[in-house]
Amino acid sequence: MNADGFGSRPDDLYRQVFERNPAVQLLVDPADGRIVEANPAACEFYGYDRAALAAHRIGDLNVAPAAEIAAAMADAVRRLRSRFAFRHRLASGEVRDVEVTSGPVEVGGRVLLHSIVHDVSERRRSEQLQAALFRISDVASRTANVEELCGELHAIVGELMFAGNFYIALDDPLAGRLSFPYWVDAHDPAPAPEPYGRGLTEYVLRTGRPLLASPEVFADLVAKGEVEQVGADSVDWLGVPLASGQRVLGVLAVQTYDARHRYRDADREVLTFVSRQIAVALERKRAEEQIRRLAYHDALTGLPNRLLFEDRLDVALAQARRAEQRVAVLFLDLDHFKLINDSLGHRGGDRVLRVLGERLAATVREGDTVARLGGDEFALVLSGLERTDDVGSIAQRLLDSVRLPVEVDGRELWATASLGASLYPEDGEDGEALLKHADSAMYRAKEQGRDSLQLYSPAMTVSALDRLSLETSLRGALSKGELLLHYQPILDCGSGRVTGVEALLRWQRADRCVPPSEFVPLAEITGLIVPIGPWVLATACAQLRRWHDAGWRDLKIGVNLSARQLQQPHLVEVIAGALAEAGLEPRFLDLEITESHAIQGAEAVFAALAELRALGVTLSIDDFGTGYSSLSYLQRLPVDAVKLDRSFLDETPLASETAAIASAVIDLAHALGLTVVAEGVETEEQRAFLVSRGCDRMQGFLLARPAPAEAIGELLAAAAALETR
């Protein structure tokens, strides 16, 4: 021992205690911080031999600032015993947390500081991990979104290890790619969401195991073809899976480009521990965001729902009041959408809704809102309008976007929409009134033929109230006995004999007779046609039975089937039951469906008609020539007759272009083996034209107006009397 230390006496008791003590002990000169002596335990701990350690000053080992070290030594000299918390760097470069107990001793006539160093790294690491766990839970509960959460987590990890370069990669298995919600790196920019590659991130994701990739480990993985070079070379790369239970959400990674900052197994263990807490926090945060999104967005289309729509509308109105601008509210409803659902199933219908929702959102301006209110109903807010004319141009683009074909399972479908619009401040001061008025305008668009825009007018409110009153009355009409059937005879063009009658629904209220054009579409829209339809069938079949019993045994009866009835799952059973109850053979019942319903219903309608045909009833296409008039569909439909629409007979047939069209329709139907029934025959000239063109049957005011069963019975009796003369 040199003279600066303990001296040369071998029996010096203090030296023996110092040398043999298993605790790390140092003698330090408080004047300059030079290490005067170190015991074997200190040499082993710091990784230096005694001579090398004695060549250091305490500041060389301590990572604290020099002023802090000097103040600590001065305090230790003044006191008999002082305790400090420092971080000491070992010969290997590793930094350890230590607690230093220090006090003055006199050795060889000098006052030195006797310091006992306790390695508290594991305890401190445990405390830090527990604190990190608490902080992760805390920031997850109060941070608004995933990006902010990741930034907070970066700061926490940075207190536990070197994390100057830090990123989080999240897995999107459905899209087959990684996204990077948080990225901090000294050399590489944040990548966009990208398909899976062969980088270290994907390796950890693929294996589900942590990886500490030193240059040697990385080179070995490259040689084996496990990974490829991605981005700048790093000294060490450390990545761990973000796993919650059995589910791997992504990867948490840190890397260093500086050889002074190397990662070790202890860092991997720390990062793995932290990653589990981060995974739980991220999963909870994503779940919270999903819940929030579901609360304000439509789950199918991703568009705002009614709640968010109303909030956006309120904001737009508030801004419009300050800026003295207009706001338009649009209500859009797809036409005959239920037929798409019934023909393609709800999966196909959902596909159509998603595509149309995307188109609507892409059509409007930035800052406008498109929301799905439910079913096939959409609502829009167009804010900051300078001119009323802007509504028309935007609405036209919306209607055009809906008309474009949608491909579902290799088939192209076409849709149209009815659109109503109201304006602030002209049509209402608040969102509720504007939406209600836009809804009323949309119904007017449907009444006017659909596939169009209608602007709101005050008269529509009255119309909407009338419609509501009418709907309320219609709901009780059947039970009150206000519904009844009238019948219109159908004549054979060749013999002039009555071969059948068509049953026509009528509504006789106490105050007035409601025209079918008023209540039949309402019954269809509201679904009231579903209970009314079976009553019509049963009543018509029972009446035909009475006419058969009276002697007109060849008479047939025609009954209209609505689109809603065609969609009912037990339609065939209902019809068979009505026939059986009346004791009629199926061949005496002719079921009529409109051309548009037959075509738009596609496969579902084909299947229903095939079942009815198998039952034995006859089937007719009503209003033929006013809809799609598709020859390919007409060939496939299992029908027996077409009913030529009255519009072909509006002009004098022999002097109009419609005569050529009517003749072509008759010839076409006959070529397909179908019977032709002309509707709306009102003049003798029309009758003569139809007879000359080979039309099979006809009906209209010229022959007989629709009338109650008693009057039709009298007409049949009179016709029979004429035949017997």
**pLDDT score recorded for residue 631:** 52
Averaged over 420-438, what is the pLDDT?
90
Q: Quick check: 300 pLDDT over 90?
A: no
- CA pair distance 380, 708, nearest whole angstrom: 48
| Residues 496-545: tens digit of each pLDDT | 899 999 999 999 887 788 888 778 877 877 778 888 889 999 999 999 99
Q: Cα 211 to chain center, whole Å? A: 37
Tokens of 681: 């025959």
- CA pair distance 347, 357, nearest whole angstrom: 15
- CA pair distance 552, 146, nearest whole angstrom: 80
**pLDDT score recorded for residue 492:** 93
- Asked if 591 and 618 touch (Cβ cutoff 8 Å), the reply is yes
β-strands 618-624, 589-594 pairing = parallel
Q: Which residue has the tokens 């025209």?
A: 515
Please tell me whether the overall predicted TM-score, pTM, comes out greater than 0.85 for this model: no
Tokens of 148: 């902010």
Task: Quote the strand ranges of 203-246, DSSP E.
Answer: 211-213, 236-244
- 600 — pLDDT class (breaks 50, 70, 90): low
321: three-class secondary structure by DSSP: helix
- CA pair distance 617, 286, nearest whole angstrom: 58
- Asked if 248 and 205 touch (Cβ cutoff 8 Å), the reply is yes
Averaged over 601-625, what is the pLDDT?
79
- 656 — pLDDT class (breaks 50, 70, 90): low
| Residues 310-366: tens digit of each pLDDT | 999 999 999 989 888 889 999 999 988 877 776 677 778 888 999 999 999 999 988
Tokens of 47: 């990784």
pLDDT greater at residue 388 or residue 92 = 92
| Residues 120-149: tens digit of each pLDDT | 988 887 887 788 778 877 777 777 677 787
Lowest mean per-residue pLDDT among 157-161, 177-181, 401-405, 544-548: 157-161
Tell me the backbone φ, ψ of residue 36, rounded to 5 degrees: -80, -40
Q: Return contacts of 290-295, CB within 8 angstroms, 24+ apart.
A: none
Count CA atoms closer than 13 A to 44's CA, side-chain side. Answer: 10
What DSSP letter does each residue of 54-74 carry, written as one string? HTSBHHHHB-S-HHHHHHHHH
700: three-class secondary structure by DSSP: coil
Q: b/e string for 31-68 if b means 16 or more Cβ within 10 A? A: eebbbbbbbbbbbebbebeeeebbebebbebbebeeee
Q: Which residue has the tokens 């800052």?
A: 367
User: Which of 26, 107, 21, 92 has the alpha carbon at shortest distance from 59?
Assistant: 26
- Asked if 461 and 469 touch (Cβ cutoff 8 Å), the reply is no
Lowest mean per-residue pLDDT among 6-10, 103-107, 111-115: 6-10
**pLDDT score recorded for residue 629:** 46
- CA pair distance 286, 204, nearest whole angstrom: 22
- Asked if 566 and 608 touch (Cβ cutoff 8 Å), the reply is yes
**pLDDT score recorded for residue 634:** 64
**pLDDT score recorded for residue 475:** 79
What DSSP letter does each residue of 642-675 carry, written as one string? EEE-GGGGSS-GGGSHHHHHHHHHHHHHHHTT-E
